[in-house]
Amino acid sequence: MAQFEETGPRTPVVEPTRVDKVHPRAKIGKSVRVTITLIVTFIMIIPVLVMIMTAFKSRADIVTPPPKVFFNPTLEGFLYLFTDRSIQSPANLEIERAKSEELGYWDKLALSVGQKINGPSDYVGRLKNSVIIAGTSTILSVVLGLFTAYAFSRFKIVGKDDLLFFILSTRMLPGVVVTIPLFLLYKQLGWNDTYIGMIILYTVFNLSFSVWLLMGFLDEIPVEYEEAALVDGYTRMQAFFKIVLPQAVTGIAATTVFCLIFAWNEYAFALMLTSEKARTAPPSIATMLGSGGLEWSAIAAGSLGFLIPVAIVTFVLRDYLLRGVTFGAVRK
Protein backbone atom coordinates (compact mmCIF):
# COMPACT_ATOMS: atom_id res chain seq x y z
CA MET A 1 0.00 0.00 0.00
CA ALA A 2 2.74 2.40 1.02
CA GLN A 3 4.67 1.57 -2.12
CA PHE A 4 1.65 2.27 -4.23
CA GLU A 5 1.20 5.71 -2.70
CA GLU A 6 4.79 6.64 -3.46
CA THR A 7 4.48 5.88 -7.15
CA GLY A 8 1.05 7.45 -7.44
CA PRO A 9 0.52 10.98 -8.65
CA ARG A 10 1.60 13.65 -6.13
CA THR A 11 -0.55 16.33 -7.65
CA PRO A 12 -4.21 16.07 -8.55
CA VAL A 13 -4.89 14.76 -12.03
CA VAL A 14 -6.14 17.72 -14.01
CA GLU A 15 -5.72 16.25 -17.48
CA PRO A 16 -8.83 14.60 -18.84
CA THR A 17 -8.55 10.83 -18.55
CA ARG A 18 -11.53 9.86 -20.66
CA VAL A 19 -10.59 7.50 -23.45
CA ASP A 20 -12.16 9.78 -26.05
CA LYS A 21 -9.98 12.66 -24.82
CA VAL A 22 -6.52 11.10 -24.49
CA HIS A 23 -6.54 9.10 -27.70
CA PRO A 24 -3.96 10.50 -30.17
CA ARG A 25 -6.71 11.27 -32.65
CA ALA A 26 -8.54 13.34 -30.02
CA LYS A 27 -5.33 15.25 -29.29
CA ILE A 28 -4.84 16.12 -32.93
CA GLY A 29 -8.49 17.10 -33.05
CA LYS A 30 -7.91 19.46 -30.16
CA SER A 31 -4.98 21.27 -31.73
CA VAL A 32 -6.97 21.63 -34.94
CA ARG A 33 -9.83 23.08 -32.94
CA VAL A 34 -7.54 25.55 -31.14
CA THR A 35 -6.11 26.72 -34.46
CA ILE A 36 -9.56 27.17 -35.98
CA THR A 37 -10.71 29.07 -32.90
CA LEU A 38 -7.74 31.42 -33.13
CA ILE A 39 -8.39 32.12 -36.81
CA VAL A 40 -12.13 32.61 -36.30
CA THR A 41 -11.59 34.95 -33.37
CA PHE A 42 -9.17 36.97 -35.45
CA ILE A 43 -11.70 37.23 -38.28
CA MET A 44 -14.43 38.25 -35.82
CA ILE A 45 -12.27 40.99 -34.42
CA ILE A 46 -11.17 42.47 -37.78
CA PRO A 47 -13.87 45.19 -37.95
CA VAL A 48 -12.84 46.36 -34.48
CA LEU A 49 -9.17 46.43 -35.48
CA VAL A 50 -10.01 48.32 -38.66
CA MET A 51 -11.91 50.94 -36.67
CA ILE A 52 -9.04 51.35 -34.19
CA MET A 53 -6.55 51.71 -37.06
CA THR A 54 -8.75 54.19 -38.87
CA ALA A 55 -8.94 56.38 -35.78
CA PHE A 56 -5.18 56.94 -36.03
CA LYS A 57 -4.91 57.35 -39.79
CA SER A 58 -4.61 60.61 -41.62
CA ARG A 59 -7.37 61.59 -44.03
CA ALA A 60 -5.19 60.74 -47.02
CA ASP A 61 -4.27 57.32 -45.64
CA ILE A 62 -7.93 56.41 -45.17
CA VAL A 63 -9.22 57.16 -48.63
CA THR A 64 -6.37 55.80 -50.74
CA PRO A 65 -7.00 52.32 -52.09
CA PRO A 66 -5.93 49.66 -51.37
CA PRO A 67 -6.67 49.86 -47.63
CA LYS A 68 -3.47 50.18 -45.65
CA VAL A 69 -2.49 48.09 -42.67
CA PHE A 70 0.76 49.97 -42.08
CA PHE A 71 0.65 53.75 -41.83
CA ASN A 72 1.99 56.71 -39.91
CA PRO A 73 -0.21 57.12 -36.85
CA THR A 74 -1.61 60.59 -36.32
CA LEU A 75 -4.18 62.15 -34.03
CA GLU A 76 -5.90 64.03 -36.87
CA GLY A 77 -9.15 62.12 -36.29
CA PHE A 78 -9.36 63.33 -32.71
CA LEU A 79 -8.64 66.87 -33.91
CA TYR A 80 -11.55 66.68 -36.37
CA LEU A 81 -13.77 65.14 -33.71
CA PHE A 82 -13.20 67.51 -30.83
CA THR A 83 -12.48 70.88 -32.39
CA ASP A 84 -14.21 73.38 -34.57
CA ARG A 85 -11.75 74.63 -37.14
CA SER A 86 -11.59 77.07 -40.02
CA ILE A 87 -9.51 76.79 -43.16
CA GLN A 88 -6.87 79.51 -43.32
CA SER A 89 -5.64 81.48 -46.27
CA PRO A 90 -1.97 80.89 -47.21
CA ALA A 91 -1.03 84.33 -45.85
CA ASN A 92 -2.61 83.59 -42.49
CA LEU A 93 -0.93 80.22 -42.43
CA GLU A 94 2.45 81.91 -42.84
CA ILE A 95 1.74 84.20 -39.90
CA GLU A 96 0.62 81.27 -37.77
CA ARG A 97 3.65 79.23 -38.77
CA ALA A 98 5.94 82.04 -37.74
CA LYS A 99 4.75 81.81 -34.16
CA SER A 100 4.40 78.03 -34.19
CA GLU A 101 7.00 77.78 -31.44
CA GLU A 102 4.48 79.03 -28.88
CA LEU A 103 1.58 76.87 -30.12
CA GLY A 104 0.36 73.77 -28.32
CA TYR A 105 0.32 70.29 -29.87
CA TRP A 106 -3.23 70.47 -31.22
CA ASP A 107 -2.76 73.91 -32.77
CA LYS A 108 0.34 72.64 -34.55
CA LEU A 109 -1.55 69.58 -35.77
CA ALA A 110 -4.34 71.77 -37.10
CA LEU A 111 -1.76 74.00 -38.76
CA SER A 112 -0.21 71.01 -40.51
CA VAL A 113 -3.52 70.41 -42.33
CA GLY A 114 -3.89 74.12 -43.08
CA GLN A 115 -6.49 74.92 -40.44
CA LYS A 116 -6.85 76.89 -37.26
CA ILE A 117 -8.74 75.79 -34.15
CA ASN A 118 -11.62 78.07 -33.24
CA GLY A 119 -12.88 76.16 -30.24
CA PRO A 120 -14.40 72.88 -29.14
CA SER A 121 -16.78 71.15 -31.57
CA ASP A 122 -20.46 70.35 -31.01
CA TYR A 123 -19.42 66.80 -30.26
CA VAL A 124 -17.80 67.83 -26.99
CA GLY A 125 -21.14 69.18 -25.79
CA ARG A 126 -22.91 66.03 -26.96
CA LEU A 127 -20.49 63.81 -25.10
CA LYS A 128 -21.20 65.90 -22.02
CA ASN A 129 -24.96 65.41 -22.60
CA SER A 130 -24.39 61.68 -22.94
CA VAL A 131 -22.48 61.54 -19.66
CA ILE A 132 -25.12 63.53 -17.78
CA ILE A 133 -28.12 61.69 -19.21
CA ALA A 134 -26.66 58.18 -19.06
CA GLY A 135 -25.18 58.71 -15.60
CA THR A 136 -28.25 60.21 -13.95
CA SER A 137 -30.71 57.80 -15.53
CA THR A 138 -28.57 54.81 -14.55
CA ILE A 139 -28.47 55.86 -10.91
CA LEU A 140 -32.23 56.43 -10.90
CA SER A 141 -33.12 53.16 -12.55
CA VAL A 142 -30.82 51.09 -10.34
CA VAL A 143 -32.09 52.72 -7.12
CA LEU A 144 -35.76 52.41 -8.10
CA GLY A 145 -35.15 48.94 -9.48
CA LEU A 146 -33.40 47.83 -6.31
CA PHE A 147 -36.36 48.70 -4.07
CA THR A 148 -38.87 47.15 -6.45
CA ALA A 149 -36.77 44.03 -6.92
CA TYR A 150 -36.41 43.69 -3.16
CA ALA A 151 -40.15 43.92 -2.66
CA PHE A 152 -40.77 41.33 -5.37
CA SER A 153 -38.06 39.07 -4.02
CA ARG A 154 -39.09 39.11 -0.36
CA PHE A 155 -42.75 39.97 0.05
CA LYS A 156 -45.94 38.28 -0.90
CA ILE A 157 -47.51 40.47 -3.54
CA VAL A 158 -50.91 39.97 -5.09
CA GLY A 159 -50.56 39.27 -8.80
CA LYS A 160 -46.77 39.13 -8.57
CA ASP A 161 -46.25 37.14 -11.76
CA ASP A 162 -48.56 39.39 -13.74
CA LEU A 163 -46.83 42.51 -12.46
CA LEU A 164 -43.42 41.08 -13.32
CA PHE A 165 -44.70 40.12 -16.76
CA PHE A 166 -45.99 43.64 -17.21
CA ILE A 167 -42.62 45.08 -16.20
CA LEU A 168 -40.77 42.83 -18.65
CA SER A 169 -43.24 43.46 -21.45
CA THR A 170 -42.46 47.18 -21.41
CA ARG A 171 -38.95 46.34 -22.54
CA MET A 172 -40.20 44.26 -25.45
CA LEU A 173 -41.94 47.28 -26.98
CA PRO A 174 -40.20 48.52 -30.09
CA GLY A 175 -38.76 51.95 -29.35
CA VAL A 176 -40.19 53.46 -32.51
CA VAL A 177 -43.72 52.51 -31.44
CA VAL A 178 -43.55 54.26 -28.06
CA THR A 179 -41.79 57.29 -29.43
CA ILE A 180 -44.70 58.77 -31.38
CA PRO A 181 -47.01 59.33 -28.37
CA LEU A 182 -44.03 60.23 -26.19
CA PHE A 183 -43.06 62.88 -28.70
CA LEU A 184 -46.55 64.37 -28.40
CA LEU A 185 -46.58 64.05 -24.61
CA TYR A 186 -43.20 65.73 -24.38
CA LYS A 187 -44.39 68.44 -26.71
CA GLN A 188 -47.21 69.23 -24.29
CA LEU A 189 -44.82 69.23 -21.33
CA GLY A 190 -42.11 71.12 -23.20
CA TRP A 191 -39.75 68.19 -22.60
CA ASN A 192 -38.60 67.51 -26.16
CA ASP A 193 -34.86 68.03 -26.38
CA THR A 194 -34.38 68.50 -22.63
CA TYR A 195 -32.26 66.70 -20.07
CA ILE A 196 -35.22 65.89 -17.85
CA GLY A 197 -37.14 64.31 -20.71
CA MET A 198 -34.24 62.13 -21.78
CA ILE A 199 -33.26 61.19 -18.22
CA ILE A 200 -36.78 60.04 -17.37
CA LEU A 201 -37.07 58.19 -20.67
CA TYR A 202 -33.78 56.32 -20.18
CA THR A 203 -34.63 55.61 -16.55
CA VAL A 204 -37.84 53.90 -17.61
CA PHE A 205 -36.06 52.21 -20.53
CA ASN A 206 -33.63 50.55 -18.10
CA LEU A 207 -36.01 50.09 -15.19
CA SER A 208 -37.60 46.82 -16.29
CA PHE A 209 -34.14 45.44 -16.97
CA SER A 210 -32.77 46.49 -13.59
CA VAL A 211 -35.79 45.08 -11.71
CA TRP A 212 -35.45 41.67 -13.37
CA LEU A 213 -31.70 41.43 -13.07
CA LEU A 214 -31.56 42.65 -9.47
CA MET A 215 -34.39 40.34 -8.49
CA GLY A 216 -32.29 37.43 -9.71
CA PHE A 217 -29.36 38.56 -7.58
CA LEU A 218 -31.52 39.25 -4.50
CA ASP A 219 -33.21 35.86 -4.78
CA GLU A 220 -29.82 34.27 -4.30
CA ILE A 221 -29.22 35.96 -0.94
CA PRO A 222 -30.56 33.63 1.77
CA VAL A 223 -33.53 35.18 3.50
CA GLU A 224 -32.36 33.74 6.84
CA TYR A 225 -29.86 36.56 7.36
CA GLU A 226 -32.58 39.18 7.35
CA GLU A 227 -34.83 37.08 9.51
CA ALA A 228 -32.07 36.82 12.08
CA ALA A 229 -31.59 40.59 11.92
CA LEU A 230 -35.33 41.21 12.30
CA VAL A 231 -35.48 38.90 15.28
CA ASP A 232 -32.61 40.87 16.77
CA GLY A 233 -34.67 44.00 16.61
CA TYR A 234 -33.65 45.56 13.28
CA THR A 235 -36.40 47.31 11.38
CA ARG A 236 -37.08 46.17 7.83
CA MET A 237 -35.25 49.20 6.45
CA GLN A 238 -32.22 48.61 8.68
CA ALA A 239 -32.14 44.98 7.64
CA PHE A 240 -32.32 46.03 4.00
CA PHE A 241 -29.53 48.58 4.23
CA LYS A 242 -27.22 46.75 6.64
CA ILE A 243 -27.74 43.10 5.71
CA VAL A 244 -29.03 42.85 2.14
CA LEU A 245 -27.22 45.72 0.42
CA PRO A 246 -23.69 44.65 1.39
CA GLN A 247 -24.36 41.16 0.06
CA ALA A 248 -25.92 42.42 -3.14
CA VAL A 249 -23.01 44.72 -4.03
CA THR A 250 -21.74 42.58 -6.90
CA GLY A 251 -25.19 42.28 -8.40
CA ILE A 252 -25.84 45.99 -8.04
CA ALA A 253 -22.50 46.81 -9.65
CA ALA A 254 -23.16 44.49 -12.58
CA THR A 255 -26.66 45.92 -13.08
CA THR A 256 -25.32 49.48 -12.92
CA VAL A 257 -22.71 48.81 -15.56
CA PHE A 258 -25.23 47.15 -17.89
CA CYS A 259 -27.68 50.06 -17.50
CA LEU A 260 -24.87 52.51 -18.11
CA ILE A 261 -23.81 50.77 -21.31
CA PHE A 262 -27.41 50.57 -22.59
CA ALA A 263 -28.04 54.24 -21.91
CA TRP A 264 -24.66 55.19 -23.36
CA ASN A 265 -25.35 53.20 -26.55
CA GLU A 266 -28.99 54.26 -27.05
CA TYR A 267 -29.67 55.74 -30.45
CA ALA A 268 -33.31 55.58 -31.60
CA PHE A 269 -34.92 57.65 -28.82
CA ALA A 270 -32.14 60.22 -28.92
CA LEU A 271 -32.46 60.52 -32.68
CA MET A 272 -36.20 61.15 -32.52
CA LEU A 273 -36.61 63.17 -29.33
CA THR A 274 -33.58 65.43 -29.28
CA SER A 275 -32.18 67.89 -31.72
CA GLU A 276 -29.72 70.34 -30.23
CA LYS A 277 -29.67 70.98 -26.49
CA ALA A 278 -29.94 67.42 -25.20
CA ARG A 279 -28.64 65.47 -28.21
CA THR A 280 -26.38 62.63 -27.14
CA ALA A 281 -23.29 61.24 -28.83
CA PRO A 282 -24.66 58.19 -30.77
CA PRO A 283 -26.93 60.09 -33.18
CA SER A 284 -24.32 62.77 -33.79
CA ILE A 285 -21.44 60.40 -34.47
CA ALA A 286 -23.20 59.01 -37.55
CA THR A 287 -23.37 62.41 -39.15
CA MET A 288 -19.77 63.51 -38.73
CA LEU A 289 -19.26 65.37 -41.99
CA GLY A 290 -16.06 66.73 -43.37
CA SER A 291 -15.24 68.31 -46.68
CA GLY A 292 -16.56 65.85 -49.26
CA GLY A 293 -18.63 63.34 -47.33
CA LEU A 294 -18.24 61.49 -44.07
CA GLU A 295 -15.14 62.34 -42.04
CA TRP A 296 -14.06 58.76 -41.38
CA SER A 297 -11.12 59.52 -39.11
CA ALA A 298 -13.43 61.55 -36.85
CA ILE A 299 -16.10 58.83 -36.86
CA ALA A 300 -13.48 56.21 -36.04
CA ALA A 301 -12.01 58.35 -33.28
CA GLY A 302 -15.51 58.85 -31.85
CA SER A 303 -16.23 55.13 -32.09
CA LEU A 304 -13.35 54.48 -29.72
CA GLY A 305 -15.42 56.27 -27.10
CA PHE A 306 -17.99 53.49 -27.51
CA LEU A 307 -15.57 50.65 -28.08
CA ILE A 308 -13.18 51.08 -25.15
CA PRO A 309 -15.80 51.19 -22.36
CA VAL A 310 -17.55 48.21 -23.92
CA ALA A 311 -14.34 46.18 -24.16
CA ILE A 312 -13.55 46.86 -20.51
CA VAL A 313 -17.09 46.02 -19.43
CA THR A 314 -17.16 42.81 -21.44
CA PHE A 315 -13.94 41.74 -19.82
CA VAL A 316 -14.89 42.69 -16.25
CA LEU A 317 -18.45 41.40 -16.42
CA ARG A 318 -17.80 38.28 -18.50
CA ASP A 319 -19.31 36.05 -15.82
CA TYR A 320 -22.49 38.13 -15.70
CA LEU A 321 -22.96 38.73 -19.42
CA LEU A 322 -25.35 35.82 -19.79
CA ARG A 323 -27.63 37.14 -17.06
CA GLY A 324 -27.36 40.63 -18.43
CA VAL A 325 -28.43 39.79 -21.96
CA THR A 326 -31.31 37.54 -20.90
CA PHE A 327 -32.80 39.78 -18.18
CA GLY A 328 -31.53 37.45 -15.49
CA ALA A 329 -33.63 34.61 -16.91
CA VAL A 330 -30.64 32.38 -17.65
CA ARG A 331 -28.04 32.37 -14.92
CA LYS A 332 -25.41 29.75 -15.40
Q: What is the smallest separation between the CB atom of 101 and another protein, expressed in angstroms?
A: 36
Smaller CB separation from another protein, 31 or 89 = 31
Rounded to whole angstroms, how far apart are CA atoms 315 and 310? 8
Q: What is the smallest separation between the CB atom of 115 and another protein, expressed in angstroms?
A: 23
Collect all residues with Cβ–Cβ distance below 8 Å to 268 and sequence separation of at least 6. Answer: 175, 176, 179
Smaller CB separation from another protein, 109 or 288 = 288
Smaller CB separation from another protein, 59 or 121 = 59
**Distance of CA 63 to CAs 13, 73, 110, 254, 302, Å?**
56, 15, 19, 41, 18
Q: Minimal CA–CA distance to 269: which of 170, 192, 185, 164?
A: 192
In the chain, alpha helices (H): 2-7, 19-22, 24-55, 59-63, 76-82, 90-98, 105-112, 122-154, 160-172, 175-189, 195-219, 224-231, 236-239, 245-247, 249-265, 268-273, 281-285, 296-316, 321-325
Q: What is the smallest separation between the CB atom of 216 and another protein, expressed in angstroms?
A: 8
Smaller CB separation from another protein, 117 or 255 = 255
Q: What is the smallest separation between the CB atom of 246 and another protein, expressed in angstroms?
A: 18
Smaller CB separation from another protein, 79 or 299 = 299
Smaller CB separation from another protein, 26 or 87 = 26
Q: What is the smallest separation between the CB atom of 123 and another protein, expressed in angstroms?
A: 14
Rounded to whole angstroms, how far apart are CA atoms 171 and 141? 13
Q: What is the smallest separation between the CB atom of 214 and another protein, expressed in angstroms?
A: 11
